Amino acid sequence: MLETPLILAIESSCDETSAAVLQGLNVLSNIVSTQKIHEKFGGVVPELASRAHQASIVPVVEQAIAEAKVDIKSVQAVAVTLGPGLMGALLVGTSFAKSLSLSLNIPLISVNHMHAHVLAHFIQYKEAQILPKFPMLCLTVSGGHTQIVLVSSPLEMQVIGETIDDAAGEAFDKAAKVLGLPYPGGPQIDKLAFGGDEMKFNFTSPRLDNLRYSFSGLKTSLLYFLKAEMLKNPDFIQSEVSNICASYQRTIIDYLLVNFETAMKRWDIKNICLAGGVSANSLLRRKFLELGNRHDCATFIPEFQFCTDNAAMIGAAAYFKFQKHDFASLDCAPKANWSV
Ligand code: KG4
Ligand code: ZN
């Protein structure tokens, strides 16, 4: 077998159907098809997600192979997200990957989606790229998870802090819904926060011990605040939307970074990185870099294309498993709640 294997990777854990081809850690193609159907429901509808994955998985894989300009017969392993995620959505990707593994007679590699978000930092997409060193500390913030992860090696990770209820991405998405903004709300709030006064309003974020987070109260605090203000001024949201978004966003980002900074000091780690969909947030990116500079850390924030769900990160995680010949059996089943 070649030292730098050609891996086809598939991601279908939520509302993105994605396929990528990697030569080692080099991305030859990374196709992401985002399901638009959920917009009108203000959130992901699991059954509709499964149907949309079913409809797009073949064209997305075909496009990934075509763009990579490789022959599918030269692919040496097929990697797939085994979890965590929506069961029906995961079933589409895993069944497809198993069939390919069987028909091409190549190994199957099962990948933990949250591992893959972290390992997105090892995807090679440009010349002379500087990679994080181990141990590293990662703040993984997505629509389903908020975790502080101690990463000892590509295959050894430990969650040392996480949310006890909603994820940070959910706090963005639910607030956007309350404000009447389209789904997903994170990018909308990020955009509207530009030019807003981030100190104008205050929302509560509870301080918990043991590096834990809680986001469910934040959305409730926004809801009650809006109800009270709208009694005085029915046009309150329209006239203050920028200031509300800026203040709410600042509350989430500061909250995320307080615990992360405590973890950095406690574990004395000098390589820090940001991962997951919320790492596309402009304020979080800026403040994370500032935090790293203050502590003299090597600081890594992902390329925009690798922040939200994509198969290139699944391929990168799979590469490390391939090196250890850590292959999955064809009778492996999707794990909706697979922890790191
Ligand atoms: O990692 P991801 O694509 O999917 C999950 O694994 O959950 O993350 C999606 C989350 C959504 O909650 C979305 O609102 C949030 O990432 N997001 C953002 C931004 N872009 C995406 N949140 C805040 N600011 C953004 N610019
Ligand atoms: Zn994700």
pLDDT digits (tens, 9 = 90+) for 300-331: 999 999 999 999 999 999 999 999 999 999 99
Regarding whether 291 and 216 lie in a shared domain, the answer is: yes
Regarding whether 295 and 151 lie in a shared domain, the answer is: yes
Q: How confident is the model at residue 337 (pLDDT cuts 50, 70, 90)?
A: very high
**Residue 94 domain-assigned?**
yes
Amino acid at 233: N
Token digits of residue 108: 């199957």
Task: Please check whether residue 31 is in contact with residue 20, taking contact to mean a CB–CB distance below 8 angstroms.
Answer: yes
Regarding whether 119 and 57 lie in a shared domain, the answer is: yes
List the helix and strand counts (H, then E) for the chain.
9, 10
From ligand 1's centre to the CA of 106, what distance in Å? 33
Of how many residues is the chain composed? 340
Range of the domain at 181: 136-302
Regarding whether 312 and 271 lie in a shared domain, the answer is: no
Q: How confident is the model at residue 46 (pLDDT cuts 50, 70, 90)?
A: very high
**Residue 227 domain-assigned?**
yes
Number of domains the chain contains: 2
Task: Please check whether residue 322 is in contact with residue 23, taking contact to mean a CB–CB distance below 8 angstroms.
Answer: no
Regarding whether 214 and 141 lie in a shared domain, the answer is: yes
Regarding whether 146 and 32 lie in a shared domain, the answer is: no
Give the span between the Cα atoms of 237 and 177, in whole angstroms.
12
From ligand 2's centre to the CA of 209, what distance in Å? 26
Task: Report which protein residue has its CA nearest ligand 1's atom 3.
Answer: 308
Task: Please check whether residue 218 is in contact with residue 252, taking contact to mean a CB–CB distance below 8 angstroms.
Answer: yes
**Amino acid 125: pLDDT:** 87
Regarding whether 313 and 297 lie in a shared domain, the answer is: no
Amino acid at 288: F
Q: Which residues line ligand 1 (CB under 6 A)?
A: 14, 142-144, 169, 172-173, 184-187, 190, 276-278, 280-281, 308-309
Residue whose CB lies within 8 A of the most ligand 1 atoms, among 140, 166, 278, 338, for a mutation test: 278
Give the mean model confidence (pLDDT) for residues 196-219.
93
CATH number of domain containing 36: 3.30.420.40
**Residue 106 domain-assigned?**
yes
Q: How confident is the model at residue 271 (pLDDT cuts 50, 70, 90)?
A: very high
Regarding whether 20 and 82 lie in a shared domain, the answer is: yes
What are residue 148's phi and psi, to 5 degrees? -105, 120
Regarding whether 64 and 183 lie in a shared domain, the answer is: no
Query: In this predicted model, what pLDDT tens digit does every residue of 162-186 receive, in sequence order?
Result: 999 999 999 999 999 999 999 899 9
Residue 1 has pLDDT above 70, yes or no: no
